[in-house]
Homo-oligomer: A and B are copies of this chain.
Amino acid sequence: MINVGVIGYGYWGPNLVRNFSESTSTQVVAVSDLNPERLALVQRRYPTIRTTLDHRELWADSNIDAIAIATPVTSHFDLGMGSLKAGKHVLIEKPLTESYEQAQLLVEEAEKRDLVLMVDHTFVYTGAIRKMKELVTTGELGKIYYYDSVRVNLGLFQHDVNVIWDLAVHDLSIMEHILPSHPIAVSATGVSHIEGQPENIAYITLFFEDNLIAHVHVNWLAPVKVRSTLIGGSKKMIVYDDLQPSEKVKVYNKGITLNNNDNESRYQMLIGYRTGDMWAPHLDMTEALQREVKHFADCIENGALPITNGQSGLRVVQILEAATQSMMNRGEPVELNTMRIPA
């Protein structure tokens, strides 16, 4: 049984506490938050959990094996580093940190201390993403051509982070997991429509080796909610619509065919179409966080590297940082491969 302390009981913390509590591998022994009302809520719901306004009590408690951090991103680095230095395994809400440098330091600290550092890229643990990962990895889609995602709605305007850090982080963490390679450059555009506020609409293009391209559209100011992704492969293509109650992932046996035609003058005929069945695989609908919490416990017990480990989080933060930089310069591309990623 792994004893967990949770820092932050705001929007996401309750989900962590609930899942850590319901898992047979973990139990929550303490929760800290700066707001006494939130702590009172914890006590009503879980009378046996200790609560405190001071997260350092969790670090000092030798009974606690792991810390889960669900606070605003500005505090992730300090809380993460403090937790590691206190010898705790750490799970941090996405994005891992505010900057690439901070993420590097966390990754190195965890490696040095042989502690599990995991980032809460929740979508990676959904049945839909797991199925898509499987379809890509087994080669069912063929060579991957593109990844295109739209994540828009009339959403909560954030004041401390732009829409890329708020919404695109989901798509980037999914791509980081699914795609066969890492991007080498990024171009992003976007604007703020409210003076003095962060960008509320943004478009990000990621360039990969071998003509793979990815794109994300995020928007806090859309009249309708859209959560839709296209993945194009040389053999098959996917439409993933997260808003569908069922059949979220549809696999189309469609594509193009290339005919080797020696007759140069008839080059127009080289590209043909192929249209076959569509198939919507049954998806495991287990709550993603339940599976994730179990995986965190397994990694602690077995000294294994989590699927969404610190370096995954680091790579996502790197792209968020580069995209924000490119957006300041109207899409001027930023190379990613010049940044150092710990091996």
Interface residues of A (CB under 8 A from B): 145-146, 148, 150, 152, 154, 157, 159, 185, 187, 189-194, 197, 201, 203, 205, 207, 211, 213, 215, 217, 219, 221-225, 230, 232, 234, 237-239, 243, 245-247, 250, 252-256, 258, 267-268, 271, 273, 275-282, 326, 329-333
Contacts and interface: CB of A to CB of B under 8 A. Distances in A.
A145 to B, nearest CB: 5
24 contacts: A145-B193, A146-B193, A146-B201, A152-B230, A159-B268, A187-B187, A187-B331, A187-B332, A189-B207, A189-B213, A189-B215, A194-B256, A201-B232, A203-B203, A205-B330, A221-B232, A222-B230, A223-B230, A223-B250, A225-B245, A277-B281, A331-B331, A332-B332, A332-B333
A199 to B, nearest CB: 10
Contact of A271 (B191, B194, B213, B237): B194
Contacts of A221: 145-146, 232, 237, 255-256
Contacts of A190: 213
A258 B194 contact: yes
Nearest to A236: B223
Contacts of A271: 157, 194, 197
B330 A207 contact: yes
Number of copies: 4
A272 to B, nearest CB: 9
Given A217-B215, A237-B223, A275 B279 contact: no
A154 B230 contact: no
Contacts of A282: 253, 275-278
A221 to B, nearest CB: 5
A152 B239 CA distance: 13
A155 B61 CA distance: 49
Contacts of A273: 154
A247 B278 contact: yes
Contacts of A189: 187, 205, 207, 213, 215, 331
Closest 7 CB pairs of A and B: A187-B331, A223-B237, A223-B252, A189-B205, A278-B280, A330-B333, A331-B331
Contacts of A207: 189, 191, 330
Given A187-B331, A193-B211, 12 more contacts: A157-B271, A187-B187, A191-B211, A221-B237, A225-B245, A253-B282, A276-B282, A277-B279, A279-B279, A279-B280, A280-B280, A330-B333
B215 A191 contact: no
Given A213-B201, A252-B224, A278-B247, A330 B159 contact: no
A154 B330 contact: no
A148 B333 contact: no
A221 B230 CA distance: 10
Contacts of A246: 224, 278
B275 A278 contact: no
A183 B220 CA distance: 23
Contacts of A238: 223
